[in-house]
Structure 1
């Protein structure tokens, strides 16, 4: 009977294309062990045979991931878990990312050294092989399907998987932060590959499956994430050089989480939020024993932190009480005015234009380092046989601060008042009709967000050892400022915890690493936000409500029912009798 069944003509073609992808990826991997240029004048030393440099390592990783996904589509045993919702899109995105990374490196060599002849044959092989894999992956038939229920894993296996995932994430983040600032080519190639890889993992359904496992093991996930964050300064190869970037990212992310309460949960557009960060920083500087402080007092850090939070909270109430009856653009304009008033006022409290409190434009310098029970944060210390510099000390402190902010945010969002914030955000008129006191609820959000920003400001003052008004503007070349904070919340995903953290990391790390593009930062962020609003309006990490709202009219891919004589997926053709 099987002799009369019609064969699927697409199966041999699909199999051939998949093996072409695998072959191109293997050739790309081999090319990374060849020299790509003849001179060490190009950063990264791509002249060595038999040992991939960092730029070549990125191409190697992309090619390996592409080959693995193609083999998964071929039905190779043990690799099916890579593509729960289909292999074609993920394979093509990975192949395209590998090609883009490789082509960028080759073009950078030509531009940097000035001639095409500066490329060694290894670079040509890499570009051609990566292009071949990308073209073959593009021509694959679409095999998008609904993910089948995942096989239940033993508890120990799920815990091990979570540990491995966070270990890989720690390595990827550390690799990006540790890239040499004098080699922007490496960081740009890193961004290209990470961006394509993340997109591919989403399209393949693998990220959703891992997220389901982490949701089932919430305590293990929290412990693993905390352990990975704490381990960061201990694995730094360059000492304290790049830990300062991590500290500033954490400060930026903490403030963004506070703004996320105001914008993401309550739906209040605040364009002057950075002023609350400044209130906390100035308060801590005035009461921490700085030589130029007008008060001449020195509180312990816990007291200065509480004082900074209280001052920011009071300012939040003072500003919010008369303005939160406004809505939309009117509220945004008022908060923008408050931010500018704060900056100008701090510049005028110099003893000439006003009382001598903040030293005007000169700010408050020489803020002393923190000290807990004899542990000076400004000095290096040896912990577990590893020397931690001053910024590593502040990094660990900010981990604790961010953990506190995350707990406050999550508890508030899931509480009764958090549900009231969401109701106000969705429809204030309907929420008021249901008995919610809109003004009071919004004032609580404004005050809580301001207090969290003030807490971050107290640490920022000690990290920078100087507080000046120019640090707290609406828009400027160096984050955090109000525009960058709002962009971080929108880019990452409003109303979530991980979203603003990811957005803050991207918006701080990219300008810090690509300083040669400083004049074009705002243009770049504007283009990025336009593209984001077009293709992913819910943000990089969206909550379920936002994702459903923005994609409720999207058409779901129709998956035809396979005939008895046809294979149910790419590369799983049944041999006819």
Structure 2
């Protein structure tokens, strides 16, 4: 039996105590620093020059400081109390201190870039950074507590419902706040703050508890999400610019949801998926009332949506039938070639190299706005005293469409078909040996995912007013795939988060447009290194990537025993 060394134990206790004091001091400095000026000029970020009056971005650092101090004090007050469920006090404090340090570094770099020099960072900014360093070092000296088991705790139903509603309200506020940011440095710093808050929730165990609450109150979650999504246009003061970004985010997310069936569930690498979105868009453009349309038949939009999805699904069957006998790298090469063939074909349907269907590189412009049941999507409307423009009108339509797509995805994932797809993804040979119709399910995944992309493309044609072949290049397929990998393959919320980030970041980082792809590449490298399962992974994927993590396995097993639910993909 190993005898503990009393000197080592005493040294650990002293280090723990020193780290605790350093963390408290650093957190207190972070709380006090926002009341000091951080920048020399008002043009940096959101005017951090006022003494005694924190700007919104300074207030966010104060929140992180409060989290550091609160979690450390919580550990002290609750350490001696025997509770059934553990909270990761030290783990959360470590995440809060690390997040505060990263957030303040982003703030200082942004001030230096926007005011052209570190000399323009005032003393308050440096004091805040020193406080963050102290908190970071102090929490690092502390031993991490045991893995939190808060996820298996239960509370009164009204408390859990109120927590879900509060989180959704905060999500609405965060989305509106981020979209209204015109300053690129503020947007990047805000992303750092949001990442720090999420990290604190995960490491402290609060995220596990919220996840369990959503499983117990799924209807409340769905209703809250719908209300938040519906209320979003009313937070934009009729801004067409912001609502244009929001509509593009939903189109991108709806398309990625279809690709999630192919990649996330069935495990088929498709690098030409953007062609299905283009097929739906070109079909809707050709059947529209545009003066440049080469077809004289203009059916109602509901019929056009079905036809667009059918055309895309047919292309999926055509490309899938001869190629799904291969897998892995070979399938990726074939789908990549298909995406390029589609773009070239659309260019050649110009009346010279082929039939005049798409007008070649010129595409089909002047696509009129939709008019459904007398409602003109191109006109502004007043609702609750707020003016809603054309992009807000399309936003509500897209909400309905992506809601139906999510419903289809969840139902398929929870069905025998979804379990067959997962079996194919895990081990195709074993699935075939167990009687799974591998080829049929692969083909259905290709056709089903393509149909959903075609539906999204039919609306995109009217939102964009014009359709050209150059909109559907390989880079767009890569971004769709990256959204799934970044968010979390096989999940609904993960795809929504990944699509939102990848659509918002290029819009808000125009001041570094030359380096956007470089930043995007570095982000993917960091994700693959530190969180390969994605930002919002399913439990199954987490265990696949961290099969040696015994604490993670025990925590997930405990959550399954408490809730009786395996969050594999269809759920949040």
- Same-fold call, TM > 0.5? yes
- Residue 440 (structure 1) aligns with: 440
Q: 214-223 or 126-135, which moves further after superposition?
A: 126-135
- Residue 57 (structure 1) aligns with: 59
CA root-mean-square deviation? 2.5
Gaps of 5+ in 1: 1-5, 476-480, 560-577
Given candidates 90, 93, 107, the residue that maps to 1:91 is 93
Q: Secondary structure at the match of 1:387?
A: strand
Cα separation, partners in 2 of 1:557 and 1:236, compared to 1, 3 Å: closer
Q: Secondary structure at the match of 2:435?
A: coil
- Residue 267 (structure 1) aligns with: 267
Given candidates 531, 538, 543, the residue that maps to 2:533 is 538
CA distance in 2, matches of 1:463, 1:521: 25
Contact 1:272–1:336 (8 Å) recurs in 2: yes
Cα separation, partners in 2 of 1:525 and 1:151, compared to 1, 3 Å: closer
- Residue 394 (structure 1) aligns with: 394
Cα separation, partners in 2 of 1:310 and 1:151, compared to 1, 3 Å: closer
Shift of 1:434: 2.1
Shift of 1:13: 6.0
CA distance in 2, matches of 1:237, 1:512: 19
Q: 460-469 or 529-538, which moves further after superposition?
A: 529-538
Shift of 1:222: 0.9
Q: Secondary structure at the match of 1:494?
A: coil
Alignment of 1:424-503 (within 5 A): 424-475=424-475, 481-503=476-498
Contact 1:72–1:87 (8 Å) recurs in 2: yes
Q: Secondary structure at the match of 1:540?
A: coil
Shift of 1:549: 1.8
Alignment of 1:250-265 (within 5 A): 250-265=250-265
CA distance in 2, matches of 1:336, 1:398: 28
CA distance in 2, matches of 1:11, 1:401: 58
- Residue 105 (structure 1) aligns with: 107
Alignment of 1:262-341 (within 5 A): 262-341=262-341
Given candidates 141, 144, 156, the residue that maps to 1:139 is 141
- Residue 40 (structure 1) aligns with: 42
- Residue 371 (structure 1) aligns with: 371
Q: Secondary structure at the match of 1:32?
A: helix
Runs of at least 4 residues off by over 6 Å: none
Cα separation, partners in 2 of 1:530 and 1:129, compared to 1, 3 Å: closer
Gaps of 5+ in 2: 1-5, 555-572
Contact 1:488–1:507 (8 Å) recurs in 2: yes
CA distance in 2, matches of 1:120, 1:494: 44
Shift of 1:84: 4.0
Shift of 1:506: 1.3
Superimposed CA distance per residue, residues 39-65 of structure 1 (whole angstroms, 9 cap, x where no aligned partner): 224342222233222331332222222
User: Relative contact order, CA 8 A, sep 6+: which one is greater?
Assistant: 1
Q: 19-28 or 542-551, which moves further after superposition?
A: 19-28
- Residue 361 (structure 1) aligns with: 361
Given candidates 119, 122, 143, the residue that maps to 2:121 is 119
Contact 2:42–2:48 (8 Å) recurs in 1: yes
Contact 1:288–1:300 (8 Å) recurs in 2: no
Contact 1:18–1:73 (8 Å) recurs in 2: no
Given candidates 517, 527, 546, the residue that maps to 2:522 is 527
Shift of 1:298: 2.7
CA distance in 1, matches of 2:82, 2:513: 44
- Residue 561 (structure 2) aligns with: none
CA distance in 2, matches of 1:237, 1:231: 12
Cα separation, partners in 2 of 1:467 and 1:80, compared to 1, 3 Å: farther
- Residue 167 (structure 1) aligns with: 169
Contact 2:347–2:359 (8 Å) recurs in 1: yes
Contact 2:484–2:498 (8 Å) recurs in 1: yes
- Residue 416 (structure 1) aligns with: 416
CA distance in 2, matches of 1:473, 1:437: 33
CA distance in 2, matches of 1:177, 1:329: 38
CA distance in 2, matches of 1:222, 1:88: 33
CA distance in 2, matches of 1:428, 1:133: 49
CA distance in 1, matches of 2:347, 2:544: 44
Q: 91-100 or 233-242, which moves further after superposition?
A: 233-242
Shift of 1:15: 5.2
Q: Secondary structure at the match of 1:382?
A: strand
CA distance in 1, matches of 2:71, 2:237: 33
Q: Secondary structure at the match of 2:382?
A: strand
Shift of 1:67: 2.3
CA distance in 1, matches of 2:121, 2:541: 48
